[in-house]
Amino acid sequence: MKTIRHLILALLPWALVACGSKPASTTGNSDVPGSQEEKKLNLYCWSEYIPQSVIDDFSKETGIKVSVENYSSNEEMVTKLLAGGGKYDLIQPSEYTVEALIRENQLLPINPAALSNLANISSEFRNMPYDAGNKFSTPYMAGFVGICVNTDKVKTPVKGFTDVFTPNHKGRIVVLDDAREITSWAFATEKLGINDVTPENLEKVKPILKKWLPLVKVYDSDSPKTSLKNGDVDLGVIWSGEAALLYRDDKKFAFVLPSEGSHLFVDNLAIPKMAAHPQNAHLFINYILRPEVSRKISEAFPYYNPNSAARALLTNEEIANPASYPPAQDINRMQTFRDLGKQAAAIDELITQIKAGGK
């Protein structure tokens, strides 16, 4: 959670002082001859997305010490990255943010020669519109945003966003704390393309959002499953991986792809331009691309795994989880977010304002 992250951040300098900086070792781990990097990697990633065990195993194998910092929205990450607040070596932007960062010339090109495991990524994820040819990013995990319903508590059928945001669900809803996401649901309801964000269209969805947001009890992007699990809310619009975890533990949590339409998100690993340890970052990406490692990630965070070699290692039960692997024809229909440029700020503004005045 973000608050824990702040605490960890506060403690980090002390931990670093306590450990002391080790001189760069001379084991040949680099793909660029002649240059050596100190064995460190500063990872800036989503909360609840990379299992600690995977990071620990990587450190054990390579001797590279990984410092982890978390964020809970792409916007938060970009703000910090551009403010130069930290020297990150590896970030985990979603597709539309990759596009924006490429446009702003903030990413280091990926060296394909250093990624021997790249072929494990299934072909449909290898040439996405936001980064044609994967020059700057490598898919980490994909997923959807959908509706999770506690069927013990909600007896009426819930098929789409309009069924979620009804007055009799007031105070029983959790949603992602993400302005772009929330706005896109209203766009889908109005049959507008999720990337057709213009001032006129925003004006069009404003009344819908004004009706919806006061019904919401909890905004949580870090771990929206928690309030569902604790019974504090009965339904919500959340990440598919979170819904998959709920379903795995208790079948009463149904996952529904909204009838108005959903979108596919692809989270990637990318290296910021100012990275101090780009070689270590490549090593980490290549490590993540290993089937058995990626499989472990799927186990902890059951999103839609773009790594086909890893998917082959999953159990039937994991593949059958409707939140992780919905029917292919549904996925094919989905759009992905594109970078909005100027309009991104307008969305933030709109949601912040409605949220604040919604009560």
Partner 1 sequence: MADSLQGGSVPPGQQAGWRSWLLLSPLLVWLGLFVLLPTLLLVLTSFSRRDDMGRVIYSFTLDNYLRCFDATWLSIFGSSILYALVATVICVLVGYPAAYTIGRASPKNRRILLTLVMVPFWTSFLIRTYAWISILSQEGLANSLLLSAHMIPTPIGMMYTPFAIVLGLVYNYLPFMILPIYTSVEKLDNSLIEAAYDLGAGPLRAFSSVIIPLTRPGIAAGALLVFVPAIAMYAITTLMGGGSNPTIGEVIQNQFTRARNQPFGAALGVLLMLLFLVTFLLLGRKKSSPHAA
Q: Nearest Cα to 141, choosing from 88, 92, 103?
A: 92
Per-position DSSP letters for 56-122, written without gaps between them? HHHHHHH--EEEEEEESSHHHHHHHHHTT-S--SEE--BHHHHHHHHHTT-BPPP-GGG-TTGGGB-
Q: Does 193 bind partner 1 (CB under 8 A)?
A: no
Establish if 124 lies at the interface with partner 1 (CB under 8 A): no
Q: Is 75 in the site for partner 1 (CB under 8 A)?
A: yes
State yes or no: residue 219 binds partner 1 (CB under 8 A). Answer: yes
| Closest-CA residue to 193 (of 352, 333, 354, 97) | 333
- When asked if residue 152 is in the footprint of partner 1 (CB under 8 A), the reply is no
Name the segment binding partner 1 (CB under 8 A); options: 69-77, 239-247, 262-270, 281-289. Answer: 69-77
Sequence-distant (6+) residues with CB within 8 A of 284 are 41, 43, 58, 64, 66, 90, 269
Residues, the chain = 359
> How far apart, in whole angstroms, are the C-alpha atoms of residue 162 and residue 351?
18
Residues 138 and 92: their CA atoms lie apart, in Å, by: 9
Minimum Å distance from CB 274 to partner 1? 14
99 binding partner 1? (CB under 8 A): no
Could you give the angle at the alpha carbon of 229 between the alpha carbons of 182 and 322, nearest 5°? Answer: 70
Determine which residue in the list 9, 82, 119, 312 makes contact with partner 1, applying CB under 8 A: 82
Stretch that binds partner 1, among 22-30, 36-44, 212-220, 243-251 (CB under 8 A): 212-220
359 binds partner 1 (CB under 8 A): yes
Residue 174 or 271 having the CB closest to partner 1: 174
> Residue from 227, 268, 324, 336 that binds partner 1 (CB under 8 A)?
227
Decide: residue 341, CB within 10 A, 0-12 exposed, 13-18 middle, 19+ buried.
Answer: exposed
The residues in 296-355 that bind partner 1, with binding defined as CB under 8 A, are 341-342, 344-345, 348-349, 352-353, 355
Strand-pairing partners, residue 41, are: 66
Q: Which is nearer to partner 1, 126 or 217 (CB)?
A: 217
Decide whether 49 or 219 has the Cβ nearer to partner 1. Answer: 219
Residues that bind partner 1 (CB under 8 A): 1, 3-4, 6-7, 71, 73, 75-76, 78-80, 82-83, 100, 104, 171, 177-179, 216-220, 227, 230-232, 341-342, 344-345, 348-349, 352-353, 355-359
